[in-house]
Structure 1
């Protein structure tokens, strides 16, 4: 702990869209604690449930849900989001109202919002975390990117969890040619640590993301892995009150894992099969892992990231509809991910709250 730092009460609010936003806030929350700050966590749904399990001793507040849902057919993904826009706008306005009230009630002196658009206040330092300075939505990318950047401008700083160099993970998502707001590249962040341990599993499958796509992929993979020759660890990504473990033939199933369990399991696994979500990519990069991606159907961001890493010869991918277990053989022709070293320290980054 850095005892020389004056303690500040900081509101940390990740978006509840799958588990990625919540999990990448874990190292930030730990860094706040290490630097003598007092985090208060605010979110909703499974993101809030996950962080309560990770930090049972902290204060938690509940934010309204954006009610994000995926379409069953990927080509309707964008229209499903547009349909949900009125509910999302209502939630954002409620966020602003709650934050204003909480600042007074809990003496909050700073805000870290991971993609929660209404969690900011002009009277205190407010930070926005995103790897999507450009928001890819096909032929409407110019509009969604412009709208997102206009929201980011309201914040004191924008922290981008990527490298600003030519070697980076998010490519055009996280880089602008002429930004007109305050961007700070903090490097890829991960709750994981690479360990030298004996191999226990030939393949580890980790699922996440909103329904119904998470469940659809789970059912497809359950049918495919019957034909896999090797030991499998299958983490469904369902956050429930109690952890459930089940052994069926060569497959070990968990409904969810805590961070330390997940870190150990990833280190013990030879190959990883998962979505091409950005948090997963940061974790696998930190662990120097070989992987295979199945992007969420219709999610332009995950499709772009999968294509980028395949083009660079790092990780192969196949769309969900056409995946078969034999596709995993393609991993042998790719390098795998490796850690991107960055030179930063949390003391400097947290100076925005002084």
Structure 2
């Protein structure tokens, strides 16, 4: 008699690639524990996961239509302008999920920051590192709204440890206790592998436009004077990978997990945004890095400041970057991984009614 594997919907937010990539270990562990993941997202996040898991079923969710302003000082205003789009997308998500629960016989949901991917008839998990949503003077309001949505889910999984030291700081740790809050340890799709260093510098770009392109243009101009070997990954997901060599720089539009894991292990220094998924990945690999937070994004700015204060990773603002800044890395310890043994079988027991 054929064993029926329970269908679990995994739905990462399409805001940069971090939400999608940190769902990769979750999807792998679902498969190892005998579940059948069904993936739902939109845009580049959906395309990336299609490349990573070509044999799985994919569903498309509405876009939150999040873009960044050309000027970082306008970030909060741009986000406020996006609220109507987000609300419409959340309503559409709720209606789609209600239909999918029946059409695809869903036994559970894991939503990575998608507010409307929830249904009261089945166990639902909300995964986030932002229990506090930093938006400057409106932090109290954005945090309250976010926690309101989180409270609708059966459990909230935070990819960090519930002790010090930790990676997320005040983003993932709050004074009051949320019901059914679980710290599951840092998530990374990568393994640390003993490798010879082949690249002096690895540049990893990601995030919404137009800031991704602004940083790409600035770094290409700066790196004309760099003497070492560089691998430059633009973070533009497509159906096919494209690469070309320009003097000492090898450019890729994107890399899938296996190639990127190897390249990271073979690189001496990583230059990237200070997004939380990047922080988790680099901590897992115990890499030295230099961060350039996305202009105006309070979360990335907070993480960069936190890690510099702890003497782990230096950073600077996008407009202030120059090659000379990379010399500061030698004065910092590099990221440290917070070990945490996670029982995936125990976590997934929620979907068994336990």
- Shared fold per TM-score greater than 0.5: yes
Report the alpha carbon displacement of residue 247 of structure 1 after superposing the two structures with TM.
Answer: 0.1
Of 23, 32, 35, the match for 2:33:
35
Of 266, 274, 277, the match for 1:276:
274
State the distance in 2 between where 1:339 and 1:333 align.
19
Task: Kindly indicate whether residue 42 of structure 2 is the aligned counterpart of residue 44 of structure 1.
Answer: yes
Aligned to 2:100: 102
Aligned ranges for residues 192-341 of structure 1 at < 5 Å? Answer: 192-341=190-339
Name stretches of at least 5 consecutive residues in structure 1 with no aligned partner: none
Report the alpha carbon displacement of residue 20 of structure 1 after superposing the two structures with TM.
Answer: 0.2
State the distance in 2 between where 1:81 and 1:341 align.
35
Aligned to 2:91: 93
Which aligned segments of 4 or more residues in structure 1 are displaced greater than 2 angstroms? Answer: none
State the distance in 2 between where 1:6 and 1:115 align.
29
Aligned to 1:165: 163
State the distance in 2 between where 1:7 and 1:155 align.
23
Task: Kindly indicate whether residue 13 of structure 2 is the aligned counterpart of residue 15 of structure 1.
Answer: yes
Aligned to 1:174: 172
Report the alpha carbon displacement of residue 6 of structure 1 after superposing the two structures with TM.
Answer: 7.6
Kindly provide the CA deviation profile for residues 211-231 of structure 1, in whole angstroms up to 9, marking residues without a partner as x: 000000000000000111100
Task: Kindly indicate whether residue 68 of structure 2 is the aligned counterpart of residue 70 of structure 1.
Answer: yes
State the distance in 2 between where 1:259 and 1:128 align.
24
Paired residues of 1:115 and 1:129 also in contact (CA < 8 A) = yes
SS at match of 1:109: strand
Kindly provide the CA deviation profile for residues 39-63 of structure 1, in whole angstroms up to 9, marking residues without a partner as x: 0000000000000000000000000
SS at match of 1:340: coil
State the distance in 2 between where 1:122 and 1:57 align.
29
State the distance in 1 between where 2:227 and 2:290 align.
17
- Provide the alpha-carbon RMSD of the alignment: 0.9
Report the alpha carbon displacement of residue 87 of structure 1 after superposing the two structures with TM.
Answer: 1.0
Paired residues of 1:6 and 1:36 also in contact (CA < 8 A) = no
Name stretches of at least 5 consecutive residues in structure 2 with no aligned partner: none
Paired residues of 1:126 and 1:157 also in contact (CA < 8 A) = yes
